[in-house]
Structure 1
Amino acid sequence: MDTSTENEVPARAGRREWFGLVVLALPALLLSVDMSVLFLAIPHLTQDLQPSSTQQLWIADIYGFMLAGFLVTMGTLGDRVGRRKLLLIGGALFGAASLLAAYATSPEMLIAARALLGVSGATLAPSTMALISNMFKNEKERGTAVAVWSSCFMFGGVLGPIIGGLMLSWFWWGSVFLLAVPVMVLLLAAGPSVLPEYRNPDAGRVDLLSVGLSLLAIIPFIYGVKEYARGGWSATAVATLLAGVVFGVLFVRRQRRLDDPLFDLGLFRIRVYRSVVVLGLLVGIMMSGSLLLINVQMQMVEGLSTRAAGLWLVPGVVATLIALMVTPKLGQMFRPAYVMAAGLLVTAVGCVVLSQVPSDDGLAMIVIALILINIGLAPLVALGYNMVLGAAPPEKTGSASALSEANGEFGLAAGIAILGSIATAVYQDRLSLPAGLPADAAAAARENIATAVETARGLGGSMADDLLTSAREAFTSGLNLVGLLGAVLFTAIAVLTVVWLRQVPPTQDPEAKTEAEADPAEATA
């Protein structure tokens, strides 16, 4: 007679699982580094490869487009063919594409390599998150594992400019892509022995039409948002956005008709999963735009180099790492919704500080604001990912985590477009041009602060000083307004977090049942 019960406490992870976590965390670190390091290399590779302005944009953007476009497909594919198998295949392709990019001899070759990096990179994030759910069945340990993974992903964004700046000081531009090679070699060497394999034995075939529809929905939509961020409502931006929406509707309709869809829309009937995805999108929109403006403020207003700006981000990242490590303990003591809401209120306070940054000697306030903002976001990142993995059925965690990652890409593009547009409108409204400024110089200065700074360098004298002062004050006004909007939005998100997720119990009791689990009608509300 089987005496086990469904409430049996899951077994604790062993040494193999924790070493496997290290192997999984390194690709997360690498992905984040790879997203940020290219921007440092663009001036160097431009001198060597001589790409056109259009080719430069594709070199910078194609990675993100392909990554976002293939995330849902790769997450679902991992559930079907095996998460470890897909991770190892993707790691091998990522390493090969990195070599191809490092030794590219033409813009077209580099664009193709970056596209392959995006496709292979789409296999890494959802596979690593899904494998974490397989390796750490105990909810407390899974929370710690997610915190470690999140720390690596967040730290890589700051580590990228620092490492990239050092490597570009010593080596050629292609060296920044070679960072991936030893990491992928380690993944391929250690992965088969320390990572478990898991796939859904009942999964059917991958619907290729659904794959095509998902790509035609995601890539044009993100492209359209980026086009809007660059030049406003152009014909290209409107057409691609509409195309993305139309194909998105077709994708959803097809998923509803299929017995074995590419993405199970039923995941959105799980209240916890649905709530975390929406909250993550709102936070992503706010943070991506804010961080872009903060980086511009550091370089164009405070006058820091890219490397120096990266170093000033380190205190905020260190604070984030500490907060991520503390968060799982807090989630065991209190309901996660309250921990997350408290963190979001701390982030709101950081945004208030950001709203008071002056245009002269404001670096200290920026660093303080970043520390508060990053500390406050840590609970949502760590506990939110853990909720996603815990709420999704085991056979669908790859698909569920893939959507969470794709959600981040949508938030990144939308945040830059929306908040960037707000800041630009304030800048143009507040900019006061010096008397006697030539018409062509005035037109350039009105575009954005970067062109204003470049214009001032060509003027010299008191007119240049007046233009710089006015441009910096105007841009800072935009940053201040975004900070104020952030304070309001994060306070609202904190309230939504409590309203939507207060039924989730502390993770210290893995046997506890949420109110949603006790009442199936509530779980699907």
Structure 2
Amino acid sequence: MYLLGIPTARGWLPRPVRRTVGTMTQLRVHHSPGLRSWLGLVVILGPVLLVSMDGSILFLAMPRISQALTPTADQALWILDVYGFAVGSLLIAFGNLGDRYGRLKLLLIGATVFGAGSAGAAFAPGPELLIVCRAVMGVAGATLLPSALAVLSELFPEPRLRARAIGIFAAAFAAGFAVGPIVGGALLERFWWGSVFLVNLPVIAMFVAVAPVLLGEVRETRHGRVDRLSLVTSAGGLLLTVYGLKRVAAQGVSVPPVVAMAFGAASLVWFARRQRHLDHPLIDFSLFRDRVFTIAVITGLLPLAAWSVAAYLTGVYLQSVLGLTVLHAALLALPGAVVLTVTCVVTPMAVGRFGKRAALIVCHFSIAAGVVLLLPTTTTGGVGWYVASTALAGVGFGISFSVVADTAVAAVPAERAGAAGAIAETSNEIGNALGIALLGSLATMVFRLQGPGLAPALDETLQLPGLAPAAARDAKAAFVTGLHTVAVVAGLLHAVLGAVALRWLRATGGPRR
């Protein structure tokens, strides 16, 4: 099998790559990548951009979806974060499956399923089917990221060009998160809410048509089997725990959600203990003995949690509290997205001059300061504070996207770099989902306690027929109180982690290379 080639006077000269024969992996000499390799990179970036963008594209779309489908408060949170949980829970498992059965094959299957899930979500008649379709999209998304990165590494075997290509890959992934709400807002200004899902279909169709021509199969046979019991307990434990937290936040303490949380927590503990005795664990928890690695992984998780919940809550705030149009809200998010993307690009140069220690510390303190700038917002104004908040916090979010995986990998021995990189990627996806699940549930609980008590969420309350103006004002004030509570909690968490990084990284002398 040949993968891509190099241009000659008579056309393309095939470039032999790694091929699998039986149980042996043969390595052939690679030539420098040509135009076809760079075209392959462009093709790969399509689904990567979609996977990251779909983690955030609904943040400005939720008020419109709430009007159309009238989900309950916990259903609205599931619509937002079941996608991230599915991606994060299965990322490592599908990476292992791709190694065994072929990365390109998994990419094509995942892209096809992702397109089918997008089409189903666009025409979902109710919140239940929309949640199911979002979960299907998350499962498919988990197949795309690790396989795309493996194929990318095969396209660019020369280390310098591979580093440049991976940098482009990371920037595209970060840009997808940043522009997702903006793309969603622009689509909703002209089309119905399902358009935020249908936008995926042209990209998926292009990828399925072109990928078999430009990309070649990549397969490894040295990896052990996927432990199915670990996969089930990790995903089930996460979902049960989050389900219990959401039900308690939306409806108060009762027996079913408490039991669900207990079973979920027990499953996660059992999962962690089981990994210690497996030859090929899904997560190698022994890596967390290294302080630098631990801080890097938390830096992958916590900023994504703060970013996702802040983007969701401020999207509702701008539209449902201040009454802005979805396009106006999208334009206000643009400065923060630009800052985030530019920071992703310039961070590697800054790290080369000032070091990763300084980057990690600046990351957490800038996010802490940024989310605290949401505190002066009120029910009648706060647009300027919102823009300033997203711009300042965008610096920290951009640093997090840029340095987490590299810092985590550099902190461990070379033979464990693959496991470290997989954990770092998983922390991003789980953080994106946990932000909505945990901090979003906190905002829901504050609204339930402080609001008029007519409905468990702001949009549900505002849609009630014959709602009194005083009740509407009380509902908006309760939502803003919940937003402020989340901002304080997120700010404190990042300030504490910044202080811990300041102490721990000084004590260890910085990340080891």
Shorter-chain TM-score: what band?
0.7 to 0.9
SS of 1:257 mapped into structure 2 = coil
How many Å separate the matches in 1 of 2:259 and 2:435? 20
Is the contact between residue 143 and residue 386 of structure 1 (CA under 8 Å) also seen in structure 2? no
Q: What is the one-letter code of the residue matched to 2:267?
A: F
SS of 1:259 mapped into structure 2 = coil
Q: CA deviation at 1:470?
A: 4.5
Q: In the TM superposition, what whole-angstrom CA distance separates every residue of 1:156-207 from its partner, at most 9, and x where no partner exists?
A: 42234224414625xxx65543322221233234434555654443212223
Instruction: Flag the 1:473–1:61 CA change in 2: closer, same or farther, 3 A.
Output: closer
How many Å separate the matches in 2 of 1:428 and 1:109? 26
Instruction: Flag the 1:184–1:163 CA change in 2: closer, same or farther, 3 A.
Output: same
Structure 1, unpaired ranges of 5+: 1-9, 432-441, 506-513, 518-525
Q: CA deviation at 1:95?
A: 2.4
Is residue 331 of structure 2 the alignment partner of residue 316 of structure 1? no
Partner of 1:121: 141
Partner of 1:137: 159
Partner of 2:270: 250
Is the contact between residue 297 and residue 476 of structure 1 (CA under 8 Å) also seen in structure 2? yes
Is residue 455 of structure 2 the alignment partner of residue 458 of structure 1? no
Partner of 1:282: 302
How many Å separate the matches in 2 of 1:216 and 1:426? 27
Alignment of 1:368-447 (within 5 A): 368-388=388-408, 400-420=420-440, 422-423=442-443, 442-444=452-454, 447=456
Identical residues among aligned pairs (%): 35
Partner of 1:338: 358
How many Å separate the matches in 2 of 1:98 and 1:421? 26
Alignment of 1:171-182 (within 5 A): 174-182=194-202
Q: CA deviation at 1:102?
A: 4.8
Q: What is the one-letter code of the residue matched to 2:172?
A: W
How many Å separate the matches in 1 of 2:216 and 2:409? 17
Is the contact between residue 224 and residue 241 of structure 1 (CA under 8 Å) also seen in structure 2? yes
Q: 483, 487, 491: which is aligned to 1:483?
A: 487
Instruction: Flag the 1:365–1:226 CA change in 2: closer, same or farther, 3 A.
Output: same
Q: CA deviation at 1:213?
A: 2.6
How many Å separate the matches in 2 of 1:174 and 1:472? 27
Q: 180, 184, 190: which is aligned to 1:161?
A: 184
Is the contact between residue 316 and residue 374 of structure 1 (CA under 8 Å) also seen in structure 2? yes
How many Å separate the matches in 2 of 1:349 and 1:105? 41
How many Å separate the matches in 2 of 1:54 and 1:424? 9
Is the contact between residue 411 and residue 512 of structure 2 (CA under 8 Å) also seen in structure 1? no
Q: CA deviation at 1:379?
A: 0.9
Q: 480, 496, 500: which is aligned to 1:492?
A: 496
Partner of 1:511: none
Is the contact between residue 63 and residue 459 of structure 2 (CA under 8 Å) also seen in structure 1? no
RMSD of the alignment, in Å? 4.0
Q: What is the one-letter code of the residue matched to 2:246?
A: K
Partner of 1:70: 90
Q: 308, 314, 335: which is aligned to 1:294?
A: 314
Q: CA deviation at 1:358?
A: 3.6
Q: In the TM superposition, what whole-angstrom CA distance separates every residue of 1:437-466 from its partner, at most 9, and x where no partner exists?
A: xxxxx4317x554455446x7255xxx2x4
How many Å separate the matches in 2 of 1:118 and 1:58? 12
Q: What is the one-letter code of the residue matched to 1:458?
A: G
How many Å separate the matches in 1 of 2:197 and 2:95? 25
Instruction: Flag the 1:87–1:258 CA change in 2: closer, same or farther, 3 A.
Output: same
Q: What is the one-letter code of the residue matched to 1:444?
A: L
Q: What is the one-letter code of the residue matched to 2:147?
A: S
Partner of 2:250: 230
Q: CA deviation at 1:123?
A: 0.8
Q: What is the one-letter code of the residue matched to 1:149?
A: A
Instruction: Flag the 1:337–1:429 CA change in 2: closer, same or farther, 3 A.
Output: same
Q: CA deviation at 1:89?
A: 2.3
Instruction: Flag the 1:99–1:393 CA change in 2: closer, same or farther, 3 A.
Output: farther
How many Å separate the matches in 2 of 1:175 and 1:515? 44
Q: In the TM superposition, what whole-angstrom CA distance separates every residue of 1:217-239 from its partner, at most 9, and x where no partner exists?
A: 23323333333443343333222
Q: In the TM superposition, what whole-angstrom CA distance separates every residue of 1:449-506 from its partner, at most 9, and x where no partner exists?
A: 4455446x7255xxx2x4444544444344344434444332322233344456999x
Is the contact between residue 47 and residue 203 of structure 2 (CA under 8 Å) also seen in structure 1? yes
Q: What is the one-letter code of the residue matched to 1:177?
A: F
Q: What is the one-letter code of the residue matched to 2:453?
A: A
- Aligned pair count reads 478
SS of 1:203 mapped into structure 2 = coil
SS of 1:313 mapped into structure 2 = helix
Q: In the TM superposition, what whole-angstrom CA distance separates every residue of 1:275-301 from its partner, at most 9, and x where no partner exists?
A: 211222232333333333322321232
Q: In the TM superposition, what whole-angstrom CA distance separates every residue of 1:340-392 from its partner, at most 9, and x where no partner exists?
A: 32243333332332222343221111111111111222112111133345557
Instruction: Flag the 1:343–1:396 CA change in 2: closer, same or farther, 3 A.
Output: closer
Instruction: Flag the 1:71–1:309 CA change in 2: closer, same or farther, 3 A.
Output: same
Q: CA deviation at 1:314?
A: 1.6
Partner of 1:29: 49
SS of 1:354 mapped into structure 2 = coil
SS of 2:221 mapped into structure 1 = coil
TM-score, length basis structure 2: 0.77
Q: 357, 360, 369: which is aligned to 2:377?
A: 357
Q: What is the one-letter code of the residue matched to 1:298?
A: L
Instruction: Flag the 1:175–1:377 CA change in 2: closer, same or farther, 3 A.
Output: closer
Partner of 1:348: 368
With 26-35 and 411-420 compared, the bigger mean Cα shift is at 411-420
SS of 1:261 mapped into structure 2 = coil
Is the contact between residue 345 and residue 494 of structure 1 (CA under 8 Å) also seen in structure 2? yes
SS of 1:215 mapped into structure 2 = helix
Instruction: Flag the 1:188–1:401 CA change in 2: closer, same or farther, 3 A.
Output: farther
TM-score, length basis structure 1: 0.76
Instruction: Flag the 1:422–1:315 CA change in 2: closer, same or farther, 3 A.
Output: same
Q: CA deviation at 1:271?
A: 4.8
How many Å separate the matches in 2 of 1:352 and 1:111? 32
How many Å separate the matches in 1 of 2:168 and 2:196? 28
Partner of 1:434: none
Q: What is the one-letter code of the residue matched to 2:466?
A: G
